[in-house]
Chains A and B, each alone.
Chain A
Amino acid sequence: MKLQKATYCALYAVLELARDPELQLSATDIADKYNISANHLAKVLRDLGRAGLVESVRGAGGGYRFSGNLKRTTLFDVIHLFEDVGGASARARDSHEGTDIGNALNLVLSEIDEIACATLGSITIGTLLKTMRWRNERAARETVDS
């Protein structure tokens, strides 16, 4: 599955800010870390702000902070702001819906889309951050053991 650049920017920003919901980071802080365009990221952050996932804090030391719900906001919630995750509309155009071959192809592609949606919709930001911590801890343990 390949995501668009804006979607990656949104995921980096949301996860980086959600890692410490008290922390405020500027678009430049995040852009530098992930080597992405600060201008592009600023646009993405505005979209995330409209969706209620981040909020901007004005003044000295201002920036953005995570304002979503760690236990409720899923990867799907972030991704679908920037792209058509299920791909149903694009598929209907591409696969000659209404023909037997088009319908059969649609069936297979729908299966893949449904699995993608179920996967992304069942992983919350909190779960992904937790998984990341577990993986880091496991890697550290394995380093000590070896």
Chain B
Amino acid sequence: MSEGGFHKEMQVDGVTFLIRDADEKDLPSVTDLHAYNTGQHTPDYWRETYHRYGNSTEGFFYVCTIDSQFAGFIIGEVRAWEFGSEPCGWVYTIGVNPEMRLKQVGTRLFETVCEQFRKAGVGQARTMLHRQDNLNLSFFRSQGMMGGPYIELEMPLD
């Protein structure tokens, strides 16, 4: 958890957004949203992720609520990345409650985590997505992200 507990309230177009550190009580909502988006229900994974990023100083695990209703979450961390790249702000994942789409929840969460990256002294935000994940690719593009100089490579280990 960030020092002192992160808590930021903002009014945009008559909507009150609250972005705060994730709490253990948010995990069922996060787990359900991830299951909705990916078809994978993985509560143990999210508990571990919470202990790594939310309940520690390793990263930022924020939840957004609108009128106390769970609207989405984002996880990021400052990473000194591989192959000699400068430390960057890495967006680990983002999720928006489908009932809360088009309210700029993702944008507020992304802006908030980028603000923390800046405060941590890094000058680049990065993330990695499947090239068929058009929804998230379009979202990050709309925030100003573009293809960077690194290329993801992989191979099957059979």
Known: A118-B137, A119-B147. A126 touches B142 (CB 8 A): yes
Interface residues of A (CB under 8 A from B): 74, 114-115, 118-119, 121-124, 126-127, 130-131, 134
| Residue of A whose beta carbon sits closest to that of B138 | A122
List, in ascending order, chain B residues with CB within 8 A of A134's CB. Answer: 144
Interface residues of B (CB under 8 A from A): 131-132, 134, 137-138, 141-142, 144, 146-147
Pair B141/A122 contact, Cβ less than 8 Å: yes
| Residue of A whose beta carbon sits closest to that of B130 | A118
Tell me, in angstroms, the Cα distance from A134 to B145 when the chains sit together. 12
| Residue of B whose beta carbon sits closest to that of A76 | B134
Apart from A119-B147, A127-B141, A131-B146, list 8 A-B contacts with CB within 8 A: A118-B131, A118-B132, A121-B134, A122-B134, A122-B137, A122-B138, A127-B138, A131-B144
* Most chain B beta carbons < 10 A, residue from A122, A123, A134: A122
Pair B141/A123 contact, Cβ less than 8 Å: yes
List, in ascending order, chain A residues with CB within 8 A of B131's CB. Answer: 114-115, 118
Q: In the assembled complex, how far is the CB of residue B138 from the closest CB belonging to chain A, in whole angstroms?
A: 5
The contact sample of 27 A-B pairs, CB cut-off 8 A, is: A74-B138, A114-B131, A115-B131, A118-B131, A118-B132, A118-B134, A118-B137, A119-B147, A121-B134, A121-B137, A122-B134, A122-B137, A122-B138, A123-B138, A123-B141, A124-B138, A124-B141, A124-B142, A126-B142, A127-B138, A127-B141, A127-B142, A130-B142, A130-B144, A131-B144, A131-B146, A134-B144
List, in ascending order, chain A residues with CB within 8 A of B132's CB. Answer: 118
List, in ascending order, chain B residues with CB within 8 A of A114's CB. Answer: 131
| Residue of B whose beta carbon sits closest to that of A115 | B131
What 4 A-B pairs are tightest by C-beta distance, nearest first?
A122-B137, A118-B131, A127-B142, A122-B138
